Structure 1
Amino acid sequence: MAEKYGISEAELNLIKVQAARRATMRQEFMKQKTHPWKHAAEAGYVFDPAIQKFMSMKVTQFDNFTPNKRTSLFGFGAIILPMFVYGYFVWKDRTDREKKIRSGELRYKDRMFKLA
């Protein structure tokens, strides 16, 4: 039966189990969220310890950062190197265009930026 969807029977059962787990978690959350007296002290929201740990981690990640070889190489490869490569290509394009203009290979009517 499950082969008509392009997945095996085990994968279909796994999907069904995950959907059932999500439904029970959603039902429990809605039960807690709509309880009129349970969360009155916490300004009406459901306290989730996992979300609190994640938010605390995001706030203190710069305090706990230690530079090492891996982070330095990542910073160099993700920030500094692309800037220099892009700058080189812009410089090369401009110098080649200027050289063609000054030597007369590129006519005025064929230029990209012109006044008339």
Structure 2
Amino acid sequence: MAYRVPSSIRVETDLTHEEKRLIQERAKLKAQLRQEYLRQLTDPHKHGSGGYLFDPQMMRFQAARSHSMIFEHFRPTPKGGLQFFAATFLPMLVLGYFVYKDRVRIVTPSPVIKLPFASFLLKPLTCVSLNSFQRASLVNRKVTWCL
């Protein structure tokens, strides 16, 4: 059973005879344009593989629509700018601050214990707690007690 497009004109409307005639003419023109479009779309000799039909009016319509609706879903506001900053740059700055503070803590020499700098790189400082006697014996020696 073929699909039938329902009529856009109802019998019980309050349209005049002239308005109904204009609506019917527009519907007829629309049907003719649709048939022509489908004929061109399925013509294997015109488009090679078929399927794509360049319609300059459609391109103009899409270009005008996209250009006029740039801010349909997005409007730049101060709140949006702050959200962008908080989601993009703030995590990098916070991470950079913590890495910097950790490196400064590692690089600054301790007044109590003198250990070579290489012994602290990529090793946690909280893995072993030393008493004063152990600290004194580790001065100027290579440390291997941290994993």
| TM-score by shorter chain over 0.5 | no
TM-score calculated relative to the size of structure 1: 0.42
Q: Which has the larger radius of gyration?
A: 2
- Which structure is higher in helix share? 1
